[in-house]
Structure 1
């Protein structure tokens, strides 16, 4: 977990610096003085602090964000004259760009990261047409009405082309059309979304259905003792034919404590093994998933030029933003119980792998950058969106907003957000230690 937190701190440090740099660059461009530029918050003291020119740069000790202090953002003393380097002396459009700078830079960062990853690694997808046996689902899939072997035809009346997208589309969709043994069935999802968000962790609830082929045999297990080997394909259990991995699990569950006769295909030869089975252990094998069965599933690989990588990444960032908006709407629908998935840094840290992987790191960072831009755009006092509302009102009515009201509303907003952050943090710690 420690390495995950190191990755998280590094990731959010990049996001904070880029966000505040957006405000900073637009401020300098419009000749507005920046008094402070800090990574992390620094109440009472700073880890590092140095003044260069008119600006104090530093690193705080609370890694929950960062900030820049812009001269003349708010002034409640009307008798003090405007100074040309103050924020409040600038036109509404310049104020708008300064406040929006962090959001703009976070969006731009996401597109740049995705572009470079796409250009370097390309894109791999599994076409649904290359999944001949339909889907395999876990308990969540069963609860929403899916079954092993179903073939998904469309979601929200839109055809599905890639298996990689199914989990996201189902999570955000309201209707699914499936082919179940030749019969077309419509599933309604709205009242069943609680099954997604009521889980302690949203796992991969569906994957391509695959034959039961052994990937690895656990040492000193029954499988090892009775000489089952990697790449053995299980054909029968107690003379009952087995075609798919999910069938194997069901039959084994029904035969706990009994001897089972396993029929396997080993390099074209049919072999029988009689293996005792108890209640505590599975036979002792790991079965291959769809990623390990390349002869059955053909992955589609695309490479992009640098220009096409940029265009593709722009679209990808937009899709991620739409997904975040959809999830955000679900939070306020108590029927979905999506609020249970709200998390703090503990939840975000768990998204990073235990060992450092730059591809995953930059993917998560790019996704978080879009999320940070979206959150800051919300019209909530003390966030960028709260300031943007006042600036837009100034543009519309042609009259400057009251700085006294802005200051009071911002302070109230800061207290509310701080209170909510504490609640989310406590909730996340509770889930982490007691779930």
Structure 2
């Protein structure tokens, strides 16, 4: 329960930041062009609000319905009196030129894009970037059950994806999902694997996303669970397991396979501890659980040669922009696959319930900001859709006006916005119902 609470708080804070930044974009552009802003609210406030305070001409507040936020701009949505008064006032949205109205509406999208770039740039400046060159993956790959379903096997060396060499291993999983073919070296034999929609279905048709491939590594203990059978038998961190019941073990996947064969029995382990050979007897429970966590490839600098790059302030801004663009491209690709029924990518669509699971169970600011940057560019992209009630709908109307040099009647925009709001609300309800269904029945 505590982990769910921590994840929920992280999501709530992340969404709140995104809403405030988005609405701040509209607000500042309105102020620049001397348009009156009547309200600035985090979350919606039908019937009542949690907090509100009027400063100058604007009421700032927090609503009780956490499904978004809004700024109420004078002359953007007209009331009955405004329809009767055809005279446009200088401080109204409708009195401004098309380009100024376009910038006010686009302000939220622009600020979400800037937030994403700033966050990614800050993370790159602070931590740099650590990558594993593909050429340094010396033992090939380890694959899970989903990787095997698309045709990969433990020990494969990935040579090409879509006929292109991928310089860094970090980019290979994404390239596979985006690609149509993989060329591998399997024990000296070159094999070409096609990536059809049916095969990609295995990557999308799962309850949670995780890496389906990783570098193949030796089984080296990273952590021994206290009071586990491994702890009682004296296993220690950095022990390298080399035999199970006299069967040689070179890689972690081989160890996992052997342990699954000896469930609910006592096994003999041969261990290399600082160059000394040690024998241990360990009982495996009915699940084949040894009571240890093995090191992952990121912990093995002594085996893999990583490339670490640090960035100056200027470089981090440039690379932050590139990272934002890469994240956006991945999101567009995923959305495209949602409409390919065979891939079953639609199963990964979710609401707040699914988003909660993306945050770690323990508070981690680095992951929090990285996910916030990802959600920020996603919010910007969704708001570009030319659907009335979204920013993209208003942008669409203004662009038509700029092309035709004729202003669209305000009553048409208002009615279209109402219909668009109903459509968006219906879609949100469907996604929430689908998400609840996945939690309890899928």
* 2:62 pairs with 1:59: yes
Pairwise CA distance, 1:228: 3.1
Match of 2:301 in 1: 294
- Judge conservation of contact 2:229–2:282 (CA < 8 Å) in 1: yes
Match of 2:364 in 1: 357
* 2:257 pairs with 1:254: no
Pairwise CA distance, 1:68: 0.7
For residues 257 and 88 of structure 1, the distance between their equivalents in structure 2, rounded to whole angstroms, comes to 75
Question: Against the structure 1 CA distance between its residues 144 and 102, is the aligned structure 2 distance closer, same or farther, given a 3 Å change threshold?
Answer: same
1:313 to 316, 320, 329: 320
- Judge conservation of contact 1:74–1:88 (CA < 8 Å) in 2: no
- Judge conservation of contact 2:264–2:287 (CA < 8 Å) in 1: no
Match of 1:170 in 2: 176
- Judge conservation of contact 2:115–2:376 (CA < 8 Å) in 1: yes
- What SS does structure 1 have at the residue aligned with 2:52? strand
Match of 1:148 in 2: 154
Pairwise CA distance, 1:219: 3.9
Match of 1:10 in 2: 13
- Judge conservation of contact 2:260–2:288 (CA < 8 Å) in 1: no
For residues 195 and 33 of structure 2, the distance between their equivalents in structure 1, rounded to whole angstroms, comes to 50
Match of 1:39 in 2: 42
Match of 2:411 in 1: 404
Question: After TM superposition, which residue ranges in structure 1, 4 or more long, deviate above 6 angstroms?
Answer: none
> 106-115 or 166-175, which moves further after superposition?
166-175
Pairwise CA distance, 1:420: 1.2
Gaps spanning 5+ residues in structure 2: where?
none
1:232 to 234, 239, 248: 239
Count of paired positions: 435
Match of 2:188 in 1: 182
* 2:102 pairs with 1:102: no
* 2:30 pairs with 1:27: yes
- What SS does structure 2 have at the residue aligned with 1:6? helix
Pairwise CA distance, 1:250: 1.3
2:211 to 196, 204, 212: 204
Question: Against the structure 1 CA distance between its residues 265 and 376, is the aligned structure 2 distance closer, same or farther, given a 3 Å change threshold?
Answer: same
> 214-223 or 199-208, which moves further after superposition?
214-223
Gaps spanning 5+ residues in structure 1: where?
none
For residues 398 and 123 of structure 2, the distance between their equivalents in structure 1, rounded to whole angstroms, comes to 37
Match of 1:269 in 2: 276
For residues 99 and 203 of structure 2, the distance between their equivalents in structure 1, rounded to whole angstroms, comes to 43
**Deviations 1:73-104 (CA, angstroms, capped at 9, x unpaired):** 14483762222222122211111111111001
For residues 258 and 49 of structure 2, the distance between their equivalents in structure 1, rounded to whole angstroms, comes to 62
Pairwise CA distance, 1:217: 3.0
> 286-295 or 374-383, which moves further after superposition?
286-295
For residues 242 and 138 of structure 2, the distance between their equivalents in structure 1, rounded to whole angstroms, comes to 18
Question: Against the structure 1 CA distance between its residues 84 and 274, is the aligned structure 2 distance closer, same or farther, given a 3 Å change threshold?
Answer: closer
Pairwise CA distance, 1:278: 5.1
- Judge conservation of contact 2:262–2:288 (CA < 8 Å) in 1: no
- What SS does structure 1 have at the residue aligned with 2:192? strand
Question: Against the structure 1 CA distance between its residues 21 and 280, is the aligned structure 2 distance closer, same or farther, given a 3 Å change threshold?
Answer: closer
For residues 90 and 413 of structure 1, the distance between their equivalents in structure 2, rounded to whole angstroms, comes to 24
For residues 262 and 420 of structure 2, the distance between their equivalents in structure 1, rounded to whole angstroms, comes to 60
Match of 1:113 in 2: 119
C-alpha RMSD of matched pairs (Å): 1.9
For residues 280 and 74 of structure 1, the distance between their equivalents in structure 2, rounded to whole angstroms, comes to 62
* 2:402 pairs with 1:395: yes
> 189-198 or 17-26, which moves further after superposition?
189-198
- What SS does structure 2 have at the residue aligned with 1:154? strand
**Deviations 1:230-277 (CA, angstroms, capped at 9, x unpaired):** 322222223222111111111222233555333222222333445454
**TM-score, structure 1 normalization:** 0.95
Match of 2:74 in 1: 71
- Judge conservation of contact 2:246–2:268 (CA < 8 Å) in 1: yes
For residues 257 and 58 of structure 1, the distance between their equivalents in structure 2, rounded to whole angstroms, comes to 60
Pairwise CA distance, 1:225: 3.8
For residues 56 and 276 of structure 2, the distance between their equivalents in structure 1, rounded to whole angstroms, comes to 79
- What SS does structure 2 have at the residue aligned with 1:415? helix
- Judge conservation of contact 1:321–1:371 (CA < 8 Å) in 2: yes
Match of 1:83 in 2: 89
